[in-house]
Amino acid sequence: MNDEMLARALAPIYGERSVGRGGQLARYSGALAAFSTRFGQGAVRLFRAPGRVNLIGEHTDYNHGYVMPMALDKDIALVARPRADAIVNLRNIDPERFPARTFVISAEIPRSPLGDWGNYVKGAAQALRQAAGRELCGADILASGQAPWGVPAAAGLSSSSALTVVAALTLAALNGIDLPKLALARLCSEAEWYVGTRGGIMDQFISILAERDRALLLDCRPRPGDLPGEVHYAMRQVPLPAGYRVLVLNSAVRREKTKSLYNVRVAECRIGVALLKRRYPGITHLRDVSAEALGLSDAHVLALLEDMLPEQTTRDDLRSAGLLDEPLGAMFADYGLSDDQVYRVRRRCRHVITENARVLASELALSAGDVLRFGRLMNDSHFSMSRDYEAGCREVDVLADLCRESAGVLGARVTGAGWGGCVVALVQDGCEVGVLEQVTRQYVAATGLPGEGFVCASAPGASEVRSENAEG
């Protein structure tokens, strides 16, 4: 592809203005040149998958609840060429931060140490190999995810899922495997368990199913389709409110060392379900605990939690209560939970249950054009994440407070898993640059950490970058 063809392929994805000098064209040309230097000249293919910002609905996905993310125009792009053998040679445009990795695709690929970037590609390759049930060809790959175009790592913007998704998409395409979007999204969600977290489906789904200028209201409960083994998810593309902008501000508190806390939260939710089942046997996930589903008032649902769930419990308590057999049996070992871990079940469940209600209320507010209400729901979601889910941190609270105190901001909340990472804020159009400048300056003064952020531009879901894109 020459520059002109490349520019025409990139414009429908990133918009005309992002493609010009110093923009995406420079980024992709640089990646193509770097690929040729490392692997030699010849035909290649290009793929990309976006990161995301979640507008509302945190830690609800693995509870079969609701989420409302949107894809960012920040993504991970791969230049790839198939190989005759099963080897994957993985290189990065930034080899200092992301050193070269090489592995062979098989149904059981040995894992690199926790946190290694190669694991996301390995997880994708292994899942695809298992799903295909046959040998797959490997690839020479160069990844490009550097600033300002890439997804910032360990910031709660799903750089890991973007890498998993783009790797799966690339290897599927190079092997002639044509997976429908939903099947690819499910495969990628499970592929990411390879790295050791028992994550939900939100990040991979939005990275694949996103539409430009839309958030996705996704119901994370799988439902059987008409054909055997077929699974559906209810979802709706939600237009972003006209006259408002979405800002992302990075606290610069990285959360890569907190992976195990995530699994503790998943476990706490499952313990809550096991206890609530004693009164309501039909409950399989916290999603089933809502005023509507149980025919109770909101106040009665909260009273039910007080009544049925302990403020905290331990594995020994659960053993004494006879709960260590199914369904919780294998969980403690599977999730790598320590024997003396304390589980704060009641408040975790309260967060998930109230957060699900907030996502549904957000959709109603946005369709009614009630952005003030949506802003308040964002704030409530933040407080619930801090107080009940204890997934906050001081710096993120400072950043969200600074946003809320700025003129033109309707609401602000931590986005992603928490324990650091980014704040997402809804801002009146025209105020975004001022808010960004003021809040980052104040944040640096208050914490001594770097202050950075950006105004979000939305992007379509993962795709191959092809010259046919230009013809539509």
Question: Which residues carry out catalysis?
Answer: 203
Q: Which is nearer to ligand NG1, 284 or 320 (CB)?
A: 284
- Distance of closest approach, residue 88 Cβ to ligand NG1, in angstroms: 21
B/e letters for 331-346, b = 16+ CB within 10 Å, e = fewer, are: bbeebebeeeeebbbb
**What does each C-alpha distance from 315 to 4, 271, 312 come to in angstroms?**
62, 10, 11
**Is-contact 117 146, C-beta < 8 A?**
no
- Distance of closest approach, residue 151 Cβ to ligand NG1, in angstroms: 10
Residues that bind ligand NG1 (CB under 6 A): 58-59, 61-62, 156, 158, 160-161, 192, 197, 199-200, 202-203, 416-417
Tokens of 320: 């004494």
**What does each C-alpha distance from 326 to 234, 246, 323, 329, 465 come to in angstroms?**
29, 44, 7, 5, 47
Q: Which helix (H) or strand (E) holds 33?
A: helix 24-39
Alpha-carbon torsion (345, 377, 61, 283), positive or negative: positive
- Distance of closest approach, residue 368 Cβ to ligand NG1, in angstroms: 25
Alpha-carbon distance 417 to 54, whole Å?
10
Which string of DSSP letters, residue by residue, matches 67-81?
EEEEEEEEEEEEEEE
Alpha-carbon torsion (400, 404, 407, 408), positive or negative: positive
* Sequence-ordered list of residues with C-beta below 8 angstroms from that of 83, at least 6 positions apart, any chain: 89, 137, 138, 139, 140
C-beta nearest to ligand NG1: residue? 199
Tokens of 190: 């499970």
Q: Which is nearer to ligand NG1, 58 or 288 (CB)?
A: 58
**Is-contact 424 54, C-beta < 8 A?**
yes
Which string of DSSP letters, residue by residue, matches 359-380?
HHHHHHHHHTT-HHHHHHHHHH
- Distance of closest approach, residue 268 Cβ to ligand NG1, in angstroms: 13
Q: Which is nearer to ligand NG1, 47 or 62 (CB)?
A: 62
Would you give the DSSP letter of residue 231?
E
- Distance of closest approach, residue 61 Cβ to ligand NG1, in angstroms: 5
Alpha-carbon distance 466 to 469, whole Å?
5
Q: Which is nearer to ligand NG1, 207 or 313 (CB)?
A: 207
Tokens of 131: 């799903």
